[in-house]
Chain A
Amino acid sequence: MKIISPYQKSLWVRNLLLVLVAIALIGVSVKIVQSYQKSLLMAQAKDHYESQNLLLAEETYAKASEISAIHYEEEPWSALLSRLTPVRLELESLARDVQFAIQQNDPDQAQAAYQSYQSLKQQAAKDDNQVASFFHQIAQRLAIENQLGQYYQQAMKDAKGQLQANLDQKQYKNHSFIHTLATIPDEYYGGKDKKEAELEALFLRYERTKLRDLSADGTFFEVITSFANSRSEYAKANFPTDWLITLLERYAKEEINQTIRQQDLGEFVSRAKAYLELKSFLPSQSEVVEMIEKHLKEQFRKAEQYVKTNHFEKAIELFQELSRLEDITEQLSELEQRWTSYDPGRLLQAQFPDKALQTLMTGKELWGAQAYAIGWDETDGHLYMAASMEDGSTIKLDQALSLDRQSVIFSLSEMLGSKENPVLVAESAGKERAYSYLGLVPDLSRATFVKRWQLEADGWEAQSTDQILVKNPVGEGEREIAHFVLKDSGLEYKEKWADYLVDSDETQEETSEQEKGPTEQTETDQIPDTPAASEKPADIPADIPANIPSGRTFDVYAGPGEEHAMIGQVIEGSYQVISSQSGWQLIHYGGSEGWIRALPPNSQ
């Protein structure tokens, strides 16, 4: 059975078509009515045109044109009217803009509307007489010029009132009158020249009074900030600011000069920095900028002089002050390196600031470090090292030593290991023998000390880079002067080199030497000629050549004073004095310079 019967199908099709036809008929009715209206309006427009009433003709024609039901062939009269419609629409839109700008009291919008109106006016004037006449009639009907005139007169009055109010109240925060006055068209001042002259006089009076008031109560920064704000207001309003810059230069020159005269570098830098921030609108030949640059050069020269005379702290202090003005990060970094190179002990202070370390030794170019410093903290029994590397990084090492803290002495063995990687030997009182020895090598790549060997003996002496003679060691080689070989795993007994005879006198002497303490040994110890003749441990500092007769040693400091880091020791007569200062002597030391006391304390 068919779901839809022919009866229903025919009914639906007929009704659907009925609806469509009804809709189409509505459309047709609308179209016919609109067409009729359009034809009426076109006829009216033509009548108005023929009676020279362009306003009505255009208005009627525009109404007719809005009806798009049918189209009319363009004729000469309608062609002219179609040209007039955009003019009217633009003027009407402009009139709305003017009203909106007046309601909002927005000088920018009013200025934009004014400029648009002037532009349209000029275009209309260039067109034929009918268009120009039409423009004039429409503008008159919309009263655009009258509205603008009234608005600008009121705006000028209000702006001048605000300016005077600022001066009276000495409140210089609201500068909107500058923009308002500058954006009022020339014609309301009586011409361009008159406008500039009037406004410049007005603004100059205002700024002078403002400067006087601000400089009396405010800081330099506040004054020039206020100037900058004013200047940006003038610039925003496209008003010339040369006169304002001249006023500013005069003020700034006097203020900055004052800081130079008073040698107040901090204030100079602050003011100079504040002033240089205005550089974008300062003249290229600004006297104040030149003055600042000249003074800056002098300060840099002074800082370099400090560097040359190794007054690094003063130089850095000066550089840091000047760094607020210029980017001198590289110079500061270089200076830091030079200072570190001059006084490597700074490394320890920098890396372990909370430790009161006893600087043991400093130097350069060992274990891969550019400069290094090794320190000892007797209280916690730790050995500390800080090293600066070629890439500018700094490495710190920290090693706890299980030695007798009271008697420990450190030395560098140039014989053992290589020249660039010598072994650091720590010596202290032993339990079974006179001494306990510990050989360490800093491994900077792993930031740790590598223990090479440890033994107890009555003494030792390096024969070559890996050969050691040990006197009476504990364990293998006891009661021998034993020959040991230094291997990666540590010291390894090789053979007996000679018998080691212990007598009571020697023991007593060693005991008395131990009681004297390790620091005094540096003044009296000598390197034994042979292992058999060696009666003392080989703990002579590396700085002291073996063939130089034992004399008084002086601590060498990085600066003239004990507050500076100790960078080594020298033996009396082994150095050249460069100059003297306040009881301290500047000497050549290890290819560099250092300070020693003119009269060493032990001489007293």
Chain B
Amino acid sequence: MKKRIGVQFRKTHKTAHVFERLKACRHCHTYHVLWETECSVCGREYQPVREISAKVTRRYVQTRFLLLALFVCLAILSADTLLQIGVAIGGGIVLSALFFVLQKKYGIYEKNRDFLRYLTQETENIKKSLLKQQEEIGADVKAERFKDAYEKIREVSHFLHSDTIKIRKIMYLNHFILRKDMELELDSLIPSTYDKDFVEYLREVIKVKPELVKRSVLTYVSRYKSRILLHENGEQLIGQVAGAALRMSAYAEEFQDLIIEFIDYLPRERLLRLARMVSNHRQPGWERLEEATKRRIETHYSFDPDFNSVL
């Protein structure tokens, strides 16, 4: 049994979009997703990519305006008479005004389009920056700085969605003593295939934060039920998962087979919640679950007054 350590994770920054987590160094032309605010190479402050893209767009606009100004200046310089100079200046003013109006009206669209284009152009650079940070994570692991490694990979994983990342995250999490006050995650760690470390993590996390069990977790447990049963106390684990599924009637209905199968492993409190849920949902589709619940109550809790009043 691995020795788990007690840690305090730093708070993660909540953003509306993932790209908001991405910062860039204008000088080094590198990207960063961690919590540092200054470039480790040049010491300059990181800028959000959206802001940088907006600056680039603003410069495109300025460039076009300068081109227009240059054209007008050349027209004035080429003018041979006063009349021609006047026409060139007038034309320049009209064109500048038109350009200004158009820019005001359609500039916002250009900003978004340029941002997309910017990200597309910089995909390779962003990838390389993320890979570099993964190398740093590897170094942290070698130095057994699992907390730092996890915190970093937690940030990187916003951009890289792969089993490798997930498995590495689970591996790091399995080094810690999980607490309720931690910002834990579960469904974002579900690998595409069976992973015993994930199951172990599930066992731990369900103890402190059963509310993290959502549909994807339930689906995973249902899918790999037979392999989970091979774990020590596998039945109890699945029973806990099934109990956690009782948070929402929708999960109870959807995963009633799992609940029925492992109803014997439901704790009393979960069984009581199931009984109340079943009594509240006396409708088609719940019959099997109701019957299984009744049977369990009759066999094990018939003497319990709390159950008597429910079903």
Contacts and interface: CB of A to CB of B under 8 A. Distances in A.
Contacts of A25: 69, 73
Nearest to B52: A7
Main secondary structure of the interface of A (DSSP, over half): helix
Interface stretch (B120-128, B138-146, B208-216): B120-128
B79 A70 contact: yes
Interface string A1-22: 1111111101101100110110
B77 A6 contact: no
B77 A5 contact: no
Contacts of B52: 7
Contacts of B76: 28, 31-32
Contact of A35 (B29, B66, B70, B82): B82
B56 A6 contact: yes
A28 to B, nearest CB: 5
Interface string B51-73: 01001100110110011011001
B55 A39 contact: no
Given A6-B118, A10-B60, A13-B63, A1 B74 contact: no
A7 B121 CA distance: 12
Contacts of A13: 59, 63
A35 B82 CA distance: 7
B299 interface: no
A240 interface: no
A6 B121 contact: yes
B66 A1 contact: no
Contacts of A450: none
A20 B73 CA distance: 10
A94 to B, nearest CB: 35
B103 to A, nearest CB: 15
A551 to B, nearest CB: 124
Interface in A53-98: 70-72
A600 interface: no
Contacts of A32: 76, 85
Contacts of B125: 1-2, 5
B253 to A, nearest CB: 52
A70 to B, nearest CB: 6
A24 B73 contact: yes
Contacts of A14: 59, 62-63, 66
B29 A8 contact: yes
A161 interface: no
Given A10-B60, A14-B63, A70-B80, A24 B29 contact: no
Q: Which of A7, A10, A70 has the most CB of B within 10 A?
A: A7
A554 B8 CA distance: 159
B283 interface: no
A27 interface: yes
Given A1-B125, A70-B81, A21 B66 contact: yes
B70 A7 contact: no
Contacts, number: 78
Nearest to A12: B59
Nearest to B74: A24
A8 B24 CA distance: 13
Contacts of B122: 5-6
B26 interface: yes
Interface in B100-129: 118, 121-122, 124-125, 128
Contacts of A5: 26, 29, 122, 125
A21 B29 contact: no
B73 to A, nearest CB: 3
Contacts of A8: 26, 29
B55 A7 contact: yes
Nearest to B63: A14
B235 to A, nearest CB: 52
B85 A17 contact: no
Interface in B17-67: 24, 26, 29, 52, 55-56, 59-60, 62-63, 66-67
A27 B88 CA distance: 14
Nearest to B88: A28
Contacts of B29: 1-5, 7-8
Contact of A1 (B26, B63, B77, B128): B128
A27 B56 contact: no
Interface string B85-98: 10000000000000
A17 B82 contact: no
A17 B55 contact: no
Interface in A138-187: none
A54 to B, nearest CB: 26
A21 B122 CA distance: 30
Nearest first, the 9 closest Cβ-Cβ pairs linking A and B are: A24-B73, A17-B66, A10-B59, A5-B29, A14-B59, A10-B56, A28-B76, A14-B63, A21-B69
Given A2-B124, A13-B59, A21-B73, 15 more contacts: A2-B29, A2-B125, A4-B29, A6-B122, A7-B52, A8-B26, A11-B59, A13-B63, A14-B62, A17-B67, A24-B69, A35-B82, A35-B85, A70-B81, A71-B81
30 contacts: A1-B29, A1-B125, A2-B124, A2-B125, A5-B125, A6-B121, A7-B24, A7-B26, A7-B29, A7-B52, A7-B56, A10-B55, A10-B56, A11-B59, A13-B59, A17-B63, A17-B70, A20-B70, A21-B70, A24-B77, A25-B73, A27-B77, A31-B77, A31-B79, A31-B85, A32-B76, A32-B85, A35-B85, A70-B82, A70-B85
